[in-house]
Chains A and B, each alone.
Chain A
């Protein structure tokens, strides 16, 4: 894979040298050479995802501050660099230089591990996210299941972060967060079941491809064939669940800065920043999943424009703006109200719509043949 790609990409005068290096490697490592090549190629691909991702996370914080600033008749960051563009870098530098304070009664090992537990799953899940039909690190056939499984692990980071520093505020925050994430995972899972039923696949690439077909797609109005329209209630349930999963307003009571400050109240410096990175990359992940599952991923909205990865980025960004907008608009739910919404509204709605879609698929009016 790497060899062919590089042979295509490299300028002509380098190709003999490249082939020579390949032969040299073959001579030294013998049969191991193809495996080494694969490993190197995988690492390169991983870096190609993680580096832009971290940059995107950094600029997601910047975008949030700017967008919410405009909504709140403020300017937002504008001191560091032109239009404040270097603000995320300055923030990163600042937290790197700060001391990581470990509370005296904390379980030190767990305290320091918790941010990693929160951050790692948020990164791992990106392994199976397709950016277009071919651009995917690991195109496993149950990628949706993989994403679900991996993102659920991040709740451990939050529980450990709340428990290890021996702080009551942090503990309350983590209890809230754990209860909330587990409750909303049910509603989220149920809405995903509907998606995979109609797509007949657990593979994200296939799920996107299926959205390219349908009566409206044949008419050229491809955006009406995407899953959001036939599964509108599920789309709403899923977006709400994503808000809750990411602990974003109006479900930000794990953080609830005016009540209990949050599960990461005892963290400082880089260990706190890692939680922020985890939160924002989980948020980007949520936006990406919404775009892939319901908004047609990289597909173009109309037939006369080509499909492109840019469409995916545009959709992710639009959902991200929705996140910001909601945060600037709504007050925060109370703990019991969040639970009530999850268990008494979203889960019944998903179950009913699951049954409705199942009947629909068995009926003669099935549109997903």
Chain B
């Protein structure tokens, strides 16, 4: 009798659930996965090496393109690394703006995650509902930076610009009648903060709506409960961070534990799971969206009443005001130096980490005093989580592999870098 051999299946990179370019070699016994071997590198762009040949500030837009689903948070870690090495203070208003956009980004990321995860598990309506809400948030991105995705809004020393007083408006066209445009522009008539306030007050109900579709759905629970269980000890050993770790019941959140910017002034909770399965991680992320919404509300209230500068006045790092440049020799020289050779970062090394929507996102930078980093190392949460893939899916079925890819919240931009 012939030996019964396991069946090897090449899952991706051309696969609708591969979340980009994940390639996994699955060893199957029937439908049950015996071994999963994730292969990476199909989206490798050598960001770390490229950064060595660019001035410090030129690498900010690269950070957007790492995790292209949570753009500004990656910028944040990078800008913080530079600020710590130079030792400059960020104006308090800029800190609030940064925190606000971190949380907008967290909601953006989790919305995409809930949509993609739903789609993986077969609830295809989720993705369209989530994108409806993402639309408002990318509009916020657009209003401050001009770009809906790759914003490059955070700068060493603060943020690029203060929040705008007006929102871009819809215009009448062949497809949009005057009445329609008027209705669409209603929430856009005020300032940026008014627009965001409108979203923040709507958002809890929207999350409730998602929960009615998924949380108590029997099929959703059957697909997620007790799938991919990670014990708290094992989660720590595997180096999990973010919702993956909190799903296992460990209340670790850099925003609380190593508070940066103004997170220590804000009131929010860290949700944790109990069993550490996919369902707990789902609940944790849903609750994180609600908590982010709370933070947004506090930021809006503070920003409304506290005007001020949004970027450092240290002109070795941040550009001076254009108006001053026209009349002042020294400002002109600063501007010229910044635009030609960029800022110089004193010799040293630093590790700065932020609580990225997916986990701990860290930048480890070494400077030799030049205008470029000597070495830049990016610690991406997705990479660590993906390396636990084999352990997560072993003994589960093919359908669960897809659930697991979803629950890890994989974005290949940051894994391959």
Footprint of B on A, CB under 8 Å? 71-74, 168-169, 172, 176, 249-250, 252-253, 256-261, 327-337
**Chain B interface SS verdict (over half):** helix
> In the complex the two chains form, is A332's CB within 8 Å of B128's CB?
no
> In the complex the two chains form, is B121's CB within 8 Å of A332's CB?
yes
B220 at the interface (CB under 8 A from A): yes
Q: How far is the CA of A332 from the CA of B125 in the complex (A)?
A: 12
> In the complex the two chains form, is A334's CB within 8 Å of B125's CB?
no
> In the complex the two chains form, is B129's CB within 8 Å of A73's CB?
yes
Chain A nearest Cβ from B60, distance in angstroms? 35
Q: Which residues of B contact A261 (CB under 8 A)?
A: 15-16
- Interface centre among B9, B16, B214, B399, by most chain A C-beta atoms within 10 angstroms, is B399
Interface size on B, residues (CB 8 A): 31
> In the complex the two chains form, is A332's CB within 8 Å of B219's CB?
yes
B5 at the interface (CB under 8 A from A): no
Footprint of A on B, CB under 8 Å? 7, 9-10, 15-17, 31, 118-125, 128-129, 132, 213-214, 217, 219-220, 222-223, 397-402
- Interface centre among B10, B214, B222, by most chain A C-beta atoms within 10 angstroms, is B222
> In the complex the two chains form, is A335's CB within 8 Å of B125's CB?
no
> In the complex the two chains form, is B397's CB within 8 Å of A258's CB?
no
> In the complex the two chains form, is B125's CB within 8 Å of A328's CB?
yes
> Quick one: given A256-B399, A336-B397, are A331 and B129 in contact (CB under 8 Å)?
no
> In the complex the two chains form, is B398's CB within 8 Å of A168's CB?
no
Chain B nearest Cβ from A9, distance in angstroms? 48
> In the complex the two chains form, is B31's CB within 8 Å of A331's CB?
no
Q: Which residues of A contact B125 (CB under 8 A)?
A: 71-72, 328-329
> In the complex the two chains form, is B128's CB within 8 Å of A72's CB?
yes
7 closest Cβ pairs, A-B complex: A332-B122, A331-B123, A72-B128, A258-B17, A331-B122, A331-B121, A334-B399
Nearest to A176 among chain B residues (CB) is: B31
A-B contact pairs, 5 of them (CB 8 A): A73-B129, A74-B128, A331-B217, A334-B222, A335-B399
> Quick one: given A250-B219, A330-B219, are A168 and B16 in contact (CB under 8 Å)?
no
> In the complex the two chains form, is B399's CB within 8 Å of A332's CB?
yes
Other than the given A73-B129, A250-B122, A332-B399, 15 more pairs (CB < 8 A) read A73-B132, A74-B128, A172-B31, A256-B399, A258-B120, A259-B401, A328-B125, A329-B123, A331-B123, A331-B214, A331-B217, A331-B223, A332-B123, A334-B400, A336-B31
> In the complex the two chains form, is B222's CB within 8 Å of A73's CB?
no
Q: Which residues of B contact A252 (CB under 8 A)?
A: 122
> In the complex the two chains form, is A331's CB within 8 Å of B400's CB?
no
Q: How far is the CA of A334 from the CA of B228 in the complex (A)?
A: 14
Nearest to B401 among chain A residues (CB) is: A259
> In the complex the two chains form, is B129's CB within 8 Å of A72's CB?
yes
> Quick one: given A73-B128, A73-B129, A73-B132, are A330 and B122 in contact (CB under 8 Å)?
yes
Q: Which residues of B contact A260 (CB under 8 A)?
A: 398
The one of B15, B128, B397 that contacts A335, using a Cβ cutoff of 8 Å: B397
Q: Which residues of B contact A250 (CB under 8 A)?
A: 122, 219
> In the complex the two chains form, is A258's CB within 8 Å of B9's CB?
no
Q: How far is the CA of A334 from the CA of B403 in the complex (A)?
A: 10
Q: How far is the CA of A349 from the CA of B36 in the complex (A)?
A: 39
Nearest to A72 among chain B residues (CB) is: B128
Q: How far is the CA of A163 from the CA of B399 in the complex (A)?
A: 20
Chain A nearest Cβ from B35, distance in angstroms? 16
> In the complex the two chains form, is A330's CB within 8 Å of B402's CB?
no
Q: Which residues of A contact B402 (CB under 8 A)?
A: 258-259
Nearest to B213 among chain A residues (CB) is: A329
Q: How far is the CA of A337 from the CA of B217 in the complex (A)?
A: 15
> In the complex the two chains form, is A333's CB within 8 Å of B222's CB?
yes
Chain A nearest Cβ from B41, distance in angstroms? 23
> In the complex the two chains form, is A257's CB within 8 Å of B16's CB?
yes
The one of B118, B128, B129, B397 that contacts A334, using a Cβ cutoff of 8 Å: B397
The one of A74, A257, A330, A334 that contacts B123, using a Cβ cutoff of 8 Å: A330
Q: How far is the CA of A329 from the CA of B10 in the complex (A)?
A: 30
The one of B16, B118, B401 that contacts A331, using a Cβ cutoff of 8 Å: B118
Q: How far is the CA of A258 from the CA of B398 in the complex (A)?
A: 10
Chain A nearest Cβ from B123, distance in angstroms? 4
Nearest to B214 among chain A residues (CB) is: A331
> In the complex the two chains form, is A258's CB within 8 Å of B122's CB?
yes
Q: How far is the CA of A70 from the CA of B125 in the complex (A)?
A: 11
> In the complex the two chains form, is A335's CB within 8 Å of B122's CB?
no
The one of A73, A249, A259, A337 that contacts B398, using a Cβ cutoff of 8 Å: A259
Q: How far is the CA of A202 from the CA of B271 in the complex (A)?
A: 59
Nearest to B31 among chain A residues (CB) is: A335
